[in-house]
Amino acid sequence: MFTHFGLTGPTILSLSHTVGKLLRKKNPQITIEINLKPALTAEVLDKRLQKDFDLYSKKQLANGMKDLLPINLIPIVINLAELDPSKPINQITKEERMRLCHVLQHMTLTVKELRPVAEAIVTAGGISLKEFSPKTMESKLVKGLYGAGEVLDIDAFTGGYNLQAAFSTGYVAAMHAVHGDEE
């Protein structure tokens, strides 16, 4: 999902775990490559572009790609392909068309940073799981201290796994905090 601040959506949220780790390295160079037309092979995409260019041959490039892309993406794709949006379509060379095809299937963006923690869905980091007994969720270091959910160093892909981890560890911790080891 493209937004005013950059990329988001389930795939990006899941990727952010790995990207966050990479960003902490010295001079990270992280790029994301997006295939905007994953259902088409390069050959089929080129044929599709040729068809649109035949149809809109007298229009300017920026006005001849409306069937292929959402309107806001058109100038970005043209810019990344280093083409002139006002160029008449019947003057676009094969090499320029191939450049467009390449950008459509290999759109490459540079990652600068993650969104602030206040916008996080789930946070990586927290107290090490090794310090807690999985059977009781009691701390192995401090008797009577129980941990569950976000305070633990556990995070998963979006899709319910984080809630499940919070519910399960919360249930186990609460049962043992109240009842101790009695079954």
Task: Tell me the window of 60-68, 91-99, 110-118, 158-166 that interacts with ligand FAD (CB under 6 A).
Answer: 158-166
Q: Residue with CB nearest ligand FAD?
A: 149
32 C-beta neighbours (distance < 10 Å), count: 15
Q: Which is nearer to ligand FAD, 100 or 152 (CB)?
A: 152
- The 74-113 site mask, x for binding ligand FAD (CB under 6 A), equals ----------------------------------------
Closest CA to 73 of 48, 109, 47, 98: 109
Closest CA to 93 of 19, 101, 24: 101
Residue from 158, 168, 176, 177 binding ligand FAD (CB under 6 A): 158
HEC letters along 16-47: HHHHHHHHCCCCCCCEEEECCCCCCCHHHHHH
How is residue 70 written in tokens? Answer: 């959402």
Q: Is 122 in the site for ligand FAD (CB under 6 A)?
A: yes
Instruction: Tell me which residue of 123, 135, 141, 126 sits closest to 173, measured CA to CA.
Output: 135
What is the smallest separation between the CB atom of 139 and ligand FAD, expressed in angstroms? Answer: 16
Q: Which stretch binds ligand FAD (CB under 6 A): 35-43, 97-105, 109-117, 161-169?
A: 161-169
Residue ranges binding ligand FAD (CB under 6 A): 121-122, 149-150, 158, 160-163, 166
